[in-house]
């Protein structure tokens, strides 16, 4: 019998990030300057992001970027991450399918986000910057960034969505322990925050709003840049380490997946997991079914529109063409399962639009039911976000049970759920409810989408 866990050695850690865009015939749409409606130039972006990351953001052609030794050394403190054969889950489900998951929760931040935080902190330090600013929703990204900043010696300012700030005080303390300054958003420390507070007094905040504040805090401070934990091309590039490791580990086992599944918030863990596999698919070497799993309460792929939109509520960011619910979309406050961003990675949006991947949406109670099945079978307490991928995996595995097909399913277990116990409490108490936005709710969010550029 194959081992439960397949580890690569440190020597087998990827030496290069893989840039999926290089193999896309039709490239993801460029970021636009909302003032001129022209593609953002490197110069414009360098006011907000650090230079090396701007290069990575705009580069659609370079297939591999070398991972600097300093980043690889840091990766060795928590990578390679294990590829796990979910024997126990298979048994519980009674499925002939073989289920594997790539487990990214084995670091203090509890998620895959540290992969990109490490790279972003390193490049900021190398440029001689003093610090970085960012937003965090559930808190995983802020935690990951504060860890990476502590390691590379950078100041870190985190704007944390107010509802999370109040509901997840422990997450805040982890960030502070790593030296980050954490501010509840919206706050009166930025102009855009003051404006949002005046317009929506008592608001619990949103990711889009915290992004606006973090960008303002960066551009108004000497020696600071803004960093983002998902959505951007550079983040998917860094996250390709997940897929590269998974690909190599499966190769060692002599196994080829039929279906690859991940949850999608902004698209970074799925984009990273599928990168080398999608590359093979794009080059016509292999074929895989690829599925993104999202919440029915924030259904960017399944009910959003493929449009240019702002990534933030304050409209200070460039326009990105993506599957979006509109920057005016406010997810229901009863939604506890994460993945609340209104938009989606432009890379995944383009792949989805071309029919190269699928998407499914789940209600939160069924997601937590899947989380419970998984936790009891495999022992790991999954993040609610990751549990969307678990739900999709269980559904596919049960289809195999019906048809008798022995498919191989690979899914991304993006993180652990230790800081999501309020949501688990609601589920265990039976007080968790589902809210699916009506078409009217969605129309409201889309009302704020800017006029679209003319088709060329
Ligand atoms: C942030 C996060 C996600 C969602 O972000 P993506 O960019 O879509 O990957 C998923 N899972 C966990 C554990 C996260 O922390």
Check whether residue 88 and residue 142 sit in a common domain: no
Yes or no: say if 239 and 251 are a contact pair by the CB < 8 Å rule. no
Range of the domain at 429: 5-9+79-110+234-446
Q: Which atom belonging to ligand 1 lies closest to the Cα atom of 339?
A: 4
264 occurs within a structural domain: yes
Check whether residue 165 and residue 274 sit in a common domain: no
Check whether residue 203 and residue 338 sit in a common domain: no
453 occurs within a structural domain: no
Yes or no: say if 34 and 318 are a contact pair by the CB < 8 Å rule. yes
Check whether residue 97 and residue 202 sit in a common domain: no
Check whether residue 167 and residue 258 sit in a common domain: no
280: tokens are 């093979």
- What ranges in 21-168 are assigned the alpha helix state H? 42-46, 51-58, 69-75, 87-93, 114-126, 140-152, 162-167
Respond yes or no on whether the N-terminal peptide bond of residue 80 is cis (omega within 30° of 0): yes
Respond yes or no on whether the N-terminal peptide bond of residue 135 is cis (omega within 30° of 0): no
Exposure string over 346-375, b if 16+ CB within 10 A, otherwise e: bbbbbbbbeebbbbbbbbbebbbbbbbbbb
| Residue 114 CA to its chain's centroid (Å) | 11
Strand partners, 102: 83, 412
Check whether residue 115 and residue 104 sit in a common domain: no
> How remote is the CA of residue 136 from the centroid of ligand 1, in Å?
11
Gyration radius of the chain's alpha carbons? 20
Check whether residue 99 and residue 118 sit in a common domain: no
Rounded CA separation 205/274 (Å): 32
Check whether residue 310 and residue 216 sit in a common domain: no
CATH code of the domain in which 356 resides: 3.40.50.1100
73 occurs within a structural domain: no
Rounded CA separation 18/15 (Å): 10
| Residue 421 CA to its chain's centroid (Å) | 20
Q: Which atom belonging to ligand 1 lies closest to the Cα atom of 383?
A: 13
> How remote is the CA of residue 231 from the centroid of ligand 1, in Å?
10
Per-residue pLDDT of the chain (456 residues; tens, 9 = 90+): 788 999 899 999 999 999 999 999 999 999 999 999 999 999 999 998 999 999 999 999 999 999 999 999 999 999 999 999 999 999 999 999 999 999 999 999 999 999 999 999 999 999 999 999 999 988 899 999 999 999 999 999 999 999 889 988 899 999 999 999 999 999 999 999 999 999 999 888 888 889 899 999 999 999 999 999 999 999 999 999 999 999 999 999 999 999 999 999 999 999 999 999 999 999 999 999 999 999 999 999 999 999 999 987 777 789 999 999 998 887 776 666 667 788 999 999 999 999 999 999 999 999 999 999 999 999 999 999 999 999 999 999 999 999 999 999 999 999 999 989 999 999 999 999 998 999 999 999 899 899 999 876
Give the number of other CB atoms < 10 A from CB of residue 426.
Answer: 17
Check whether residue 271 and residue 359 sit in a common domain: yes
Give, for ligand 1, the residue of 268, 273, 331, 346 to mutate: max count of ligand atoms closer than 8 Å to Cβ: 268
How many domains, the chain? 2
Check whether residue 242 and residue 309 sit in a common domain: yes
Among the candidates 171, 204, 226, a domain finishes at 226
Among the candidates 177, 195, 226, a domain finishes at 226
74 occurs within a structural domain: no
Phi then psi for 275, rounded to 5 degrees?
A: -45, -60
277: tokens are 């596999």
> How remote is the CA of residue 383 from the centroid of ligand 1, in Å?
9
86 occurs within a structural domain: yes
> How remote is the CA of residue 265 from the centroid of ligand 1, in Å?
6
> How remote is the CA of residue 402 from the centroid of ligand 1, in Å?
31
Yes or no: say if 392 and 261 are a contact pair by the CB < 8 Å rule. yes
Give, for ligand 1, the residue of 103, 104, 230 to mutate: max count of ligand atoms closer than 8 Å to Cβ: 230
Check whether residue 95 and residue 135 sit in a common domain: no
Residues with Cβ within 6 A of ligand 1?
111, 113, 140-141, 230, 263-269, 339, 383, 385-386, 414-415
> How remote is the CA of residue 453 from the centroid of ligand 1, in Å?
30
Helix (H, G, I), strand (E, B) or coil at 87: helix
323: tokens are 């599957």
Q: Which residue has the tokens 């999370």?
A: 164
52 occurs within a structural domain: yes
Check whether residue 58 and residue 203 sit in a common domain: yes
> How remote is the CA of residue 414 from the centroid of ligand 1, in Å?
6
406 occurs within a structural domain: yes
Residue located nearest, by CA, to atom 5 of ligand 1: 265
Q: Of 305, 299, 314, nearest to 203 (Cα)?
A: 314
Give, for ligand 1, the residue of 107, 111, 345, 381 to mutate: max count of ligand atoms closer than 8 Å to Cβ: 111
357 occurs within a structural domain: yes
Rounded CA separation 160/167 (Å): 11
């Amino acid at each position: 019998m194959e081992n439960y866990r397949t580890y690569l050695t440190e020597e087998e850690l990827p030496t290069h990030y893989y840039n999926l865009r290089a193999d896309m015939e039709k490239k993801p749409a460029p970021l636009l300057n909302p003032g001129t409606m022209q593609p953002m130039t490197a110069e414009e972006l360098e006011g907000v992001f650090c230079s090396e990351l701007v290069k990575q953001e705009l580069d659609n052609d370079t297939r591999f970027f070398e991972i600097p030794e300093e980043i690889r050394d840091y990766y060795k403190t928590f990578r390679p991450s294990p590829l796990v054969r979910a024997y126990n889950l298979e048994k519980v489900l009674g499925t002939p399918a073989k289920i594997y998951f790539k487990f990214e929760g084995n670091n203090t931040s509890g998620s895959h986000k540290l992969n990109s935080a490490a790279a972003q902190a390193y490049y900021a330090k190398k440029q001689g910057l003093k610090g970085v600013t960012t937003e965090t929703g559930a808190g995983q990204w802020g935690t990951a960034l504060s860890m990476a900043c502590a390691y590379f010696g950078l100041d870190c300012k985190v704007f944390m969505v107010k509802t999370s700030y109040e509901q997840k005080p422990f997450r805040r303390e982890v960030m502070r322990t790593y030296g980050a300054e954490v501010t509840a958003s919206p706050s009166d420390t930025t102009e855009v925050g003051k404006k949002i507070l005046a317009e929506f007094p008592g608001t619990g905040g949103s990711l889009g709003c915290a992004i606006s504040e973090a960008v303002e805090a960066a551009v108004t401070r000497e020696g600071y840049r803004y960093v983002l934990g998902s959505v951007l091309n550079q983040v998917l590039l860094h996250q390709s380490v997940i897929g590269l490791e998974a690909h190599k580990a499966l190769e060692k086992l002599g196994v080829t997946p039929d279906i690859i599944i991940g949850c999608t918030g902004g698209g970074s863990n799925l984009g990273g997991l599928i990168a080398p596999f999608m590359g093979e698919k794009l080059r016509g070497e292999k074929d895989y079914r690829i599925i993104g799993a999202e919440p029915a309460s924030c259904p960017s792929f399944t009910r959003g529109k493929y449009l240019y939109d702002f990534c933030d509520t304050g409209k200070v960011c460039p326009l990105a063409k993506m599957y979006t619910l509109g920057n005016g979309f406010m997810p229901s406050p009863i939604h506890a399962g994460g993945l609340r961003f209104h938009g989606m990675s432009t890379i995944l949006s383009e792949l989805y639009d071309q029919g190269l991947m699928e998407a499914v949406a789940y209600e939160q109670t069924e997601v937590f039911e899947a989380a419970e099945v998984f936790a009891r079978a495999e022992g790991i307490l999954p993040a609610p976000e990751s549990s969307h991928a678990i739900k999709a995996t269980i559904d596919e595995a049960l289809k195999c049970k019906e048809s008798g097909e022995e498919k191989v399913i690979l899914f991304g277990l993006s993180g652990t759920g230790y800081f999501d116990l309020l949501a688990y409490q609601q589920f265990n108490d039976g007080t968790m409810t589902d809210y699916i936005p009506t078409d009217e709710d969605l129309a409201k969010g889309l009302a704020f989408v800017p006029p679209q550029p003319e088709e060329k």
